[in-house]
Amino acid sequence: MKHRKRDGWNLWIEPLFALAIAVGLAYSVGHLWYFGYLPQPFFYEPFDIWADWFNVVYWSYDKGTYDSWGALYPPLTFVFLKIFSIGSCYPIAGGGVDGSAGLPARTCDWVGLVTFHGFYVLNIVLISLVFVKIDKRTAPWRAFALSAGFPMAEALERANLVIVAFTCILLAFGPLLKSARLRWLAAGLAINFKVYLISAVFPQLLRRRWKWFEGAILATIVIYLGTYAILGRGAPWEIYDNIVNFSTLHQAGSFLDVWFAVTYTALISLLNNSDFPMISLIGSRNVDLLLFILPLLLHIVQASILLAAAAAWLRPEAVPTYRLTNLGLCLALITSESGGYTQIFIFFFTFMEPWKGFGTKWAILMCYFLSIPLDIPVDRAVTTIVDTFIRGQTQIVTYYIMLGPFLRPLLIMTIPFALSCVTLRQVWFDIQRQGWKSRWRYRNDFPIMVGRGSPRRPLF
């Protein structure tokens, strides 16, 4: 009876947020149907729909993948896309560095269209199965929020390979696969699709899961070497140089580039951009204040994650594996800008948390709130003429300065900060009960209580 009363709040709050997401999604689809393009906060170029898939496919056929285009993806991406595409749709006429080189293939390469939509549907099924295994009561709302919310909808609009990588994450870190070797394989595939996902593997060391870590890293290396041999390009130093060049040269050139960001990196770049009159808009004092506060907020959250990791190393049995994986991903994603769709990884692991305690409730609610595909306009920015892909016509579009780009990165950072505080609290309470010396020892990735008790399997 007490349990029902304590957890009664989410009997209506989670369905209510799911309803808000459904309303926002319906509005976005209606806007697409009526105007021919998605509204803000979706990507601002109406002609660029599905670009992240077909442009990358083009460079899987062009040999200038890493030197001309400066690709950040390991070879697996291009081997995979070459298999699931129609080569005749991508005529190579001397190569080049045009980022939109593959867009004409959108009306020709039906195999690519079927592939990424197929993976999207597969993800919906896998997400549902994962959350049903975790908690049947909250499964419908959390599965819907993750499958139809803004990050996944944005990934589908961009046709980004994060959709395929997310399939691998679901299999590697969800409760669906029992075989450790298959989990390692899925983790290796995910990392070879998106390099930053290696941050999900290192937290396993905090729980002394040595074999799991070694197996995932070995699978990553084997997959990379195999696909590198098949593709014939994509050496480690080429990928590293391209990542370094991208991180140093990729700057926000206008307020349009800020919309798609999930960190304050683009906003800080805009504040430092002398070509954009931020000083005349908000004043030099406010610009200097923001340039001080925004990096400070990031460093505070980073420090909280590192403190939580240290606490988990001290008392690993007190912290679930999925939270450590989540904090590792958060550290990577809030430190470098990787696109709005990458929130799905943070949301997935956060939705594994039980509805218990202020910190976890806050993190869950932030995931719901950030999944609503709507934004609040602050002021009109510019009216321009653009080309749209869905309608295939040129039309006038009005862009607005929205509240989301200024608020969204802060709300995202509160998720790892809240979970870090929860972790520190749980470890401290565990130390108060057991003392500073843990009674748990790890053998073959299983925690075993010394002296009494039975083996307990780590939470997937």
Three-state helix/strand/coil letters over 140-177: HHHHHHHHHCHHHHHHHHHCCCHHHHHHHHHHHHCCCC
Nearest-CA neighbor of 344 among 165, 201, 158?
165
> 442 forms bridges with which residues in the sheet?
447
| The predicted structure's pLDDT at residue 3 | 40
Contacts of 367 (CB under 8 A, 6+ apart): 145, 346, 347, 350, 351, 415
Q: What is the predicted pLDDT for the residue at 280?
A: 54
pLDDT at 112: 93
Angstrom distance (rounded) from CA 33 to CA 265: 33
pLDDT in tens, the chain (460 residues): 344 444 556 678 999 999 999 999 999 999 888 888 888 888 878 888 998 999 999 999 888 888 888 888 999 999 999 999 998 888 865 455 556 778 888 888 999 999 999 999 999 999 999 999 999 999 999 999 999 999 999 999 999 999 999 999 999 999 999 999 999 999 999 999 999 999 999 999 998 889 999 999 999 999 999 999 999 898 889 888 888 777 665 554 455 555 667 788 777 777 776 555 555 556 667 777 888 888 999 999 999 999 999 999 988 888 999 999 999 999 999 988 777 789 999 999 999 999 998 999 999 999 999 999 998 888 777 788 888 888 778 888 888 878 888 889 999 999 999 999 999 999 998 888 877 666 555 554 554 444 444 344 445 5
CA distance linking residue 244 with residue 337, whole number of Å = 13
Locate 19 and state its tokens.
């309803």
Contacts of 437 (CB under 8 A, 6+ apart): none
Question: What is the reported pLDDT for 390?
Answer: 82
Virtual torsion, Cα 133, 135, 137, 140, nearest 10 deg: -60
Give the separation between CA 313 and CA 308, rounded to whole angstroms: 9
Which pairs with CB-CB distance under 8 Å and at least 24 residues apart come from 44-47? 44/256, 44/259, 44/260, 44/399, 45/386, 46/386, 46/387, 46/388, 46/389, 46/390, 46/397, 47/103, 47/386, 47/387, 47/388, 47/389
Closest CA relative to residue 23, chosen from 374, 344, 365, 411? 374
Q: Are strands 394-402 and 377-387 parallel, antiparallel or unpaired?
A: antiparallel
According to DSSP, the residues that pair with 384 across neighbouring strands are: 397
